[in-house]
Amino acid sequence: MLLSFVAAVALAGTPQDGPAPVGSIHAAHAKAGLKPRRAAVPAPPAPAGGPDVWVYGYLPYWVDGVDDVPWDHVTHVAFFDVGVNSDGSLSSTSRWTSIADELVTAAHNEGVKVHLTVTCFDDGVMDAVLPSATVRGKLVQNLKNLVDAYDADGVSVDFEGMGASNRDGLVSLVGELSAAVGEVTVATPAVDWNGAYDYDALAYASDALFIMGYDYHWSGGDPGPVAPLYGGDPWSKYSIAWTLDDYFLYGGPPERIILGLPLYGKVWPTTNNSVPGAATGEADSITLSDAVDDAATYGRLYESLTETPYYFPSSKSQAWYDDEQSIQAKVRYAVDQGLLGVGFWALGYEGGDPSFWAMMAEETTFGDPGGDSGDPGGDSGDPGGDSGDPNEEGGLRARAGQDFMAYVGQTVILNGRAQGAADPSFTWTQASGPGVTLSGADTAQPSFSAQVSGTFTFELVVGDGAERSAPDTVSVVVTEAEGGLCGLGSGAGGGLVAVLALALTVSRRRPASGV
């Protein structure tokens, strides 16, 4: 399959200026047995019917099990984990068999599905399993037996650090699993350094890709945001927004993507408290619950570009983490992108914080103010955008989208929506910033050519023939790209659209050389 697009320069990067190239935060947390210091408290009940998008939570074997699941606020629980051996047999199955009965019964009583996570972080094992139809078949049968024995609902495949030579083998395994069990998801990287994960093929062979949208700053690197929403000076370009555009570019369909978010942070030893800082050793992980407590003690700071809180435990250490505010911004962004849903690594790390789960209920439960409430990507509710009147329930509202970044030389596309109107009209006007000509100002997705840097703010008003909404605003920060235009798409509030610069045609498969 081919995807034609136009761009100026192909995106390139090295593991030194982005997320960890190998290894797994999942494995690191398993080794450390990461748990909050204080006991979890029950999450508050969600609105009747539960979330309107997938809310997919990994439940590690080392936390407190069933008691750590906020049942009203999730749609899927992926129990973590059983391992894979080179002959297709499974290891550590007692982790699953010791809890599966209780977990599946509790989940099904709440209308929640349960997946069993199968992990492999060993190149040698992947080299033995993935190319061999015989070994894959044995692995599939073993997983099916464990899932069926407890009436679970599917499998989450978490194979990390994989080389490009196993790209097709992973697609085959996922397809074979999909034919054998109810649902299959695949954990995929924020940045595919090796071109090993065939986004479109994996998406269509499975029910969903769980993008591990974390560890952009990893334990072995310098301190910084673990899950930056946007990239840019003083950070690298790699961010959640960059990752989603990369997936869309290579054929990952939004309706089969779950944005995985971290309920943890990292504490680095550093030379001083400068930001960006320099690490003097490897970081330790800290749960969201513990980080919130520590930030209250040491003084919470906030990095607005990446939507990330941080604090200084001492004059020579930095902690970067995510909390309710930063997760809310990232969940809103995911919903605005029309994704299948959001997910978390890992349940229990938030300590059952009632305020956190109340926020999640607000952002993932849309109601039915005049549309299809079950459509996570539609215009049926207000999943967290800037509405015309935040205190008003229902009614006609404009949603201009989340603020975002773009580069000089790009065609910037805005992404508006209307709540409460079946056939809305759109009226966009520029509120501030260098003057531009807005093409399609009466459509949902107008555009302009970014010729200079600056902050451009636009207002959207929607109508339904009888009334007009209050205005909603969106700001676009346009900056000079390092080394000239390097984006493969236009700056856009709602997905990737090509820039008219240099026509290129590439395979939807990621090149073996990486991004």
CATH number, position 408? 2.60.40.10
Position 75 pLDDT exceeds 50: yes
Is there a contact between 131 and 479 (Cβ–Cβ < 8 Å)? no
DSSP assignment of 155-178: EEEEE-S--GGGHHHHHHHHHHHH
The tokens 């030379």 sit on which residue?
271
Quick one: pLDDT at residue 20?
Answer: 59
Tens digits of per-residue pLDDT, 209-261? 999 999 999 999 999 999 999 999 899 999 999 999 999 999 999 999 999 99
Query: How is residue 102 written in tokens?
Result: 């209780």
Please indicate, yes or no, if residue 449 is contained in any of the structural domains.
yes
Contacts by 366-372 with C-beta closer than 8 Å and gap 24+?
A: 366/52, 367/47, 367/394, 369/393, 369/394, 369/395, 369/419, 369/420, 370/394, 370/419, 370/420, 370/421, 370/422, 371/419, 371/420, 371/422
Tens digits of per-residue pLDDT, 23-54? 578 888 888 878 777 767 777 676 667 899 99
Please indicate, yes or no, if residue 401 is contained in any of the structural domains.
yes
Quick one: pLDDT at residue 356?
Answer: 97
Position 494 pLDDT exceeds 80: no
Is there a contact between 136 and 88 (Cβ–Cβ < 8 Å)? yes
Please indicate, yes or no, if residue 426 is contained in any of the structural domains.
yes
- Residue 435 phi/psi, 5-degree rounding, is -65, 135
Q: How many domains does the chain have?
A: 1
Please indicate, yes or no, if residue 500 is contained in any of the structural domains.
yes
Quick one: pLDDT at residue 142?
Answer: 98
User: If you average pLDDT over every residue of the chain, what do you get?
Assistant: 84
Q: How confident is the model at residue 97 (pLDDT cuts 50, 70, 90)?
A: very high
- Residue 120 CA to residue 140 CA, distance in Å, equals 14
Identify the domain containing residue 490 by its residue range. 397-507
Please indicate, yes or no, if residue 424 is contained in any of the structural domains.
yes
Please indicate, yes or no, if residue 442 is contained in any of the structural domains.
yes
Position 424 pLDDT exceeds 70: yes
Please return the burial class of 451, using the count of CB atoms within 10 Å of its CB with bins 0-12, 13-18 and 19+.
exposed
Query: pTM of the full predicted structure?
Result: 0.72
* Cα separation values, 210 from 206, 213, 333, 379, Å: 11, 9, 16, 24
The tokens 């071109």 sit on which residue?
195
Nearest to 57, CA basis, from 348, 355, 361, 377: 348
Please indicate, yes or no, if residue 485 is contained in any of the structural domains.
yes
Q: Which are the contacts of 46, defined by CB distance < 8 A and separation ≥ 6?
A: 72, 73, 357, 361, 365
Is there a contact between 407 and 480 (Cβ–Cβ < 8 Å)? yes
Three-state secondary-structure class, residue 319:
strand
Please indicate, yes or no, if residue 467 is contained in any of the structural domains.
yes
Position 381 pLDDT exceeds 60: no
Quick one: pLDDT at residue 418?
Answer: 78
Quick one: pLDDT at residue 48?
Answer: 67
Beta bridge partners of 77: 57, 114
Position 379 pLDDT exceeds 60: no
- Residue 383 CA to residue 332 CA, distance in Å, equals 7
- Residue 176 phi/psi, 5-degree rounding, is -70, -35
Q: How confident is the model at residue 21 (pLDDT cuts 50, 70, 90)?
A: low
Tens digits of per-residue pLDDT, 173-208? 999 999 999 999 999 999 999 999 999 999 999 999
Residue 254 per-residue DSSP state: G
- Residue 73 CA to residue 49 CA, distance in Å, equals 10
Query: How is residue 135 written in tokens?
Result: 């070994």
